[in-house]
Structure 1
Amino acid sequence: MRILQTIVFFWLLYYAPVVHGKSYNIIDFGAISDGITLNTEAIQKAIDKANKKGGGKVIIPSGNFLTGCIQLKSNVELYLEDDAVLLGSTSPYDYFKVEGEESSLSPKTDDNSDLGLILAFEADNIKISGRGTIDGQGLALALNGDSLHHAGILVDKNYNYRRMRPSELVRPKLFRFLQSENIEIKDLTLTNSANWGLSFDLCKNMILDNLTVINRAYWNNDGIDITDCKNVKITRCDVNSADDGICLKSYHPYSFNDSIYIANCTIRSSASAVKFGTGSYGGFRNVTIENIKIFDTFRSAIAIESVDGATIENIKVNNIVAKNTGNALFIRLGHRAGEKTGTVQNIHISDMQVEVPFGRPDTDYDLRGPEVDFFHNPFPASIVGIPGHYIKNVTLENIKIVYPGRATKGMAYIPLSDLNRVPEQIKKYPEFSMFGELPAWGFYVRHVSCIVFKNIHLQLENKDFRPSFVFDDVDNLQIESVVIENVGSQDQVALKNVVNYKIEFPVEKITMVK
């Protein structure tokens, strides 16, 4: 994996966009910095001229510039000077699909919006940089769309009446880049989308560096979404999002996210911090995630999910510190959609430190992710396949997780003698809470082949009646150098249908479940 990181680094260094040519200040094209005048035409004219001249830098100077949707073209850098603010229009009429996409032979991109404030389609050698801010004004934009729908003026045929908000399909993303190559985005503050923040689909050779992404304006506010992209480096980013923080997705059955490097980032999220899925049709290969700090995150610190047929393989996660986070780790192989069941294999996770609270960790968010649909005991980290389809070759080492304890048998108690009561949920949306109550407090492992636990430290702040580990239908299990604190006298390890196991740590009691 270290060799892979080196290859990806030099590949991206070689292909990093170097935009040459003249500079074009949008003021010279009639842009006005009053935060009221719509400057879409002026900014687009500057971009188009730089593109026609073979490349150049389009400068957004200091000031507040209101704009609707603009489309970035090949060999163009959009540069925001210090104190420059690009404001997204709050009128839904100022957004459109990317020019040329409808004639493209590409498949449907994702299950979300085709709209965006900044678009790119089949653009090569593009860059957005500077110390300025891009603010989508997403709350006002979404509420205006909501009002137009209820007035019968701009009807959203997919309007979400259950949650009383416009559908994802009509709410623009902040960035939407499709089938583009050699992309660099750095040093900016990016905020307040009506939808996902930064969305990249079928792109190659990307560098996202030193970005502040604050996306808490409205629903579906992911931070960064990478869909079936290759050779991507995301570094030194600070992400604060009301939905998933950094999310890898795969919507194309014959494409993959491949050679992805995510490092030295800080993430807060009202959903999961780093997530593979939920859209998972093609796959995820050769992904390294390291040196990540996670805070105040409701769902999982790390979630790795294949539920639509995706192949997930060669994943390395290293040096993760997660505080006040609802779940440490969730690895899931299911079969919600897709022609075939996917695969999850060759996962190495090391050097994690996680603190799980008793209450909800994202209470400071104005918009919080959906609650689990029942009151519950604290959830363990889970690694769960489905019958006949095992998650394979997982190594967990140098991991410490502090749990709150305080579980009670009054909450849908599942005794060890009746582990079949835990539902398989083969077709259900994947989430750490998807199985309901679980019979372990530390790790719950089911339908897994070849898994190693090494140098694991589990600690309870209060007593928990459940065992630390439950293994159900596991082949080739190895546990060594494990420390478990404050467990009381209950069972520590429960095994059901486990073959070829080796447990090398002092354990008071191993329960064999029939």
Structure 2
Amino acid sequence: MKQILALFLILAFFYTANAQEYDITKFGVKNDSTILQTKAIQKIIDKVFAKGGGTIVVPKGTYLSGALFFKKKTSLVLRDGAVLKGSDEIKDYPFIPSRMEGQSLKYYAALVNAYQVDGFSISGPGAIDGNGLKFWKGFWAHREAMKKIGKESTNLEVSRPRLIFIWGSNGVNIQNVKLRNAGFWTTHLYQCNDVLIEKVDIRSPFKPVKAPSTDGIDIDVCKRVMVRNCYISVNDDAIVIKGGKGPTAHKLPQNGIVEDVLIENCTFGQAHATLTLGSESIHAKNITMRNCVVNNTCPILKFKMRGDTFQLFENITVDNITGSSGAVIDLNPWSQFFNLAGSAEKPFGIIKNITISNIKVTGTKFGEMQGNPSDQLSNFTFKNIDVTTAKPVLINKYSDVKFENVVVNGKPLEVTK
């Protein structure tokens, strides 16, 4: 993995080096957070593309915009004190072919969009702010209205934009930028290879209004992704491995594997889970999270085992995690929006070659490993674990689970079915 990651870092530098800069305020854009300036900023992006490429620079100030579409050989820099602020009107985000929740469909554009832009980069130290409060309130109001009439509300029923969506792009580099208050997911990478996300600060609130489904980083059908030295605290999962869902998802060309992901030296604040696999994932391989600090009450590693989707999770490593957390492991059935779509298939999951090692945390509980009845698990190892918790028991129904030097509250771990 080290050789692969070193190669993509060289490629990312090659893609982005020596780009001419274009300060948006020198082309008619005003430092005014009350004026929608989507057309003026897009005009600059289009001009830079027509000239052969360059870097769009947002200087200090706040600039209100709807969806922006970056073109080949263009990139984005936000200077210190700069804020690219998203419109809170959904009409400012076109309804176009997209990808959401493991499905290829039409959906609203993100604030920042890049499609087939190899070498695309976003850098700070400024901020991209989704201004999501109005979208969050709308989501909760709709969910409450549906609840009153006995119906479920899905995430897609209330229209709201993601903060960043990058599709079909290689050599992507997101560094030293603040990402705030997304209306929906914060950073969505789809069909991208050789991605570096470094020194990025990602946040959305839990109060006074919860920011629903504001995942920190969604990695969807991607290979060779590095996330390092980041801070993530969002009102959903911090880092999510995706790739498709449904009984025939593994047969569809728009879905696929997430492979060779390295997450290291990151700090995780409150979230729903630190690293999640499964809500819309068919195959994940060679996923490593290491040398990270957790300051939350959510699971460190969460497997969402869908009974309506064939899933394969293999070669997953979680190593050297310290701090305070929820469960060390949460491996349970996931039934949200279950839909066999009339298929006669009987999906099941395979989990193999998983290692959780060198963990020293104060947690809410040790965890659960239940899964669906047909799921298969093999070669799952806990090694050098030291947990302090009021719920010291691991609930586990699988036989091929190994324990080496696993201590809870100063005593050997108790395992029960």
1:209 and 2:198 equivalent?
Answer: yes
Counterpart of 1:350 in structure 2 is 357
1:179-218 alignment, distance < 5 Å: 179-216=168-205, 218=211
Name the CA distance, whole Å, in 1 between partners of 2:78 and 2:111. Answer: 15
Query: 1:313-345 deviations in whole A, cap 9, x for unaligned?
Result: 11111001141x332212347796674322110
User: Deviation at 1:277?
Assistant: 2.2
8 Å Cα contact 2:261-2:287 kept in structure 1: yes
Task: Indicate yes or no: 2:154 matched with 1:161.
Answer: no
Please report the TM-score for the alignment, with normalisation by the length of structure 2: 0.85
Contact 2:186 2:214 in 1 (8 A): yes
In the other structure, the counterpart of 1:467 is: none
**Per-residue CA shift, 1:150-200, capped at 9, x if unaligned?**
9xxxxx9x9962289895451111111222222101001110111111111
C-alpha separation in 1, matches of 2:110 and 2:8? 26
Aligned partners of 1:159 and 1:166 also within 8 Å: no
1:39 pairs with 37, 41, 51, which one? 37
Q: How many matched pairs?
A: 390
Q: Tell me the amino acid that sits aligned with residue 36 of structure 1.
A: T
Whole-angstrom CA distance in 1 between matches of 2:304 and 2:16 = 36
SS in 1 for 2:300: strand
- Given candidates 9, 14, 24, the residue that maps to 2:10 is 14
| Correspondence for 2:312 | 311
- Residue in 2 aligned with 1:228? 221
- DSSP 3-state at the match of 1:125: coil
Counterpart of 1:342, as a letter, is G
2:250 pairs with 1:239: no
> Is the counterpart of residue 135 in structure 1 residue 86 in structure 2?
no
Partner of 1:30: 28
> Aligned with 1:213: secondary structure?
strand
* Superposed displacement of residue 79, structure 1: 0.7
Give deviations 1:83-139, integer Å, cap 9, x for gaps: 1111111222111145xx37x9x9964699543111122222111112101111100
CA distance in 1, matches of 2:102, 2:268: 29
Asked if 1:117 corresponds to 2:111, the answer is yes
Partner residue in 1 for 2:407: 457
Q: Could you give the per-residue CA deviations for residues 275-313 of structure 1, whole angstroms, max 9, x where no partner exists?
A: 1121123x100111101111123x312113342212111
- Shift of the 108–403 alpha-carbon distance from structure 1 to 2, 3 Å rule, reads closer
Whose Rg is larger?
Answer: 1
Under a length normalisation based on structure 1, what TM-score does the superposition of the two structures give? 0.70
2:412 corresponds to 1:484: yes
Matched, 1:397 2:383: yes
Residue type matched to 2:291 in 1? N
CA contact (8 A) 1:168 1:195 kept: no
Measure how far apart 1:7 and its partner are: 2.5
Q: Which residue of 2 aligns with 1:471?
A: none
Match of 2:59 among 38, 58, 61: 61
Which structure's relative contact order is higher, taking Cα pairs within 8 Å and 6+ residues apart? Answer: 2
Matches within 5 A, 1:285-324: 285-297=285-297, 299-307=298-306, 308-323=309-324
Contact 1:117 1:172 (C-alpha < 8 Å) held by counterparts: yes
The one-letter amino acid of 1:331's match is L
Conservation of the 8 A alpha-carbon contact between 1:207 and 1:233 = yes
Determine the C-alpha separation between the residues in 2 that align with 1:166 and 1:37.
32
Deviation digits for residues 59-104 of structure 1 (CA, Å, limit 9, x no counterpart): 1111111111101212111111111111111222111145xx37x9
Partners of 2:239 and 2:415 in 1: CA distance: 34
Instruction: Return 130-139 or 164-173, whichever deviates more.
Output: 164-173
Contact 2:239 2:276 in 1 (8 A): yes
The secondary structure found in structure 1 opposite 2:322 is strand
Once residues 287 and 222 of structure 2 are traced to their aligned partners in structure 1, the CA distance between those partners, rounded to angstroms, is 11
Secondary structure of the structure 1 residue equivalent to 2:146:
coil
Q: Is the 8 A contact 1:318 1:350 kept in 2?
A: yes
- SS of the counterpart of 1:245? strand
2:395 corresponds to: 444
Write the letter of the residue equivalent to 2:292.
I
- Of 48, 51, 55, 1:50 maps to 48
Structure 2: how far apart are the matches of 1:138 and 1:289? 29
Checking the alignment, whether the CA contact within 8 Å between 2:395 and 2:415 is kept in structure 1 is: no
Cα pair distance change 1:142/1:92, threshold 3 Å: farther
CA separation of 1:130/1:107 partners in 2, compared to 1, >3 Å: closer, same or farther? closer
Which amino acid letter does the alignment assign opposite residue 10 of structure 2? Y
Q: What SS does the aligned partner of 2:25 have?
A: helix
**Structure 2 contact 95–107 (Cα < 8 Å) conserved:** no
What displacement does 1:204 show?
A: 1.2
Taking a change above 3 Å as real, the CA distance of residues 317 and 211 of structure 1, as seen in their structure-2 partners, is same
| Partner SS for 1:222 | coil
Preserved CA contact (<8 Å) 2:393 2:415: no
Amino acid at match of 2:147: R
Native 8 Å contact 2:313 2:351 kept in 1: yes
Contact 1:68 1:89 (C-alpha < 8 Å) held by counterparts: yes
Note closer, same or farther for the CA distance 1:448–1:140 as it changes in structure 2 (3 Å cut): same
Greater alpha carbon shift after TM alignment, 47-56 vs 200-209: 47-56
Structure 1 CA distance, aligned partners of 2:145 and 2:117?
Answer: 34
Counterpart secondary structure, 2:211: coil
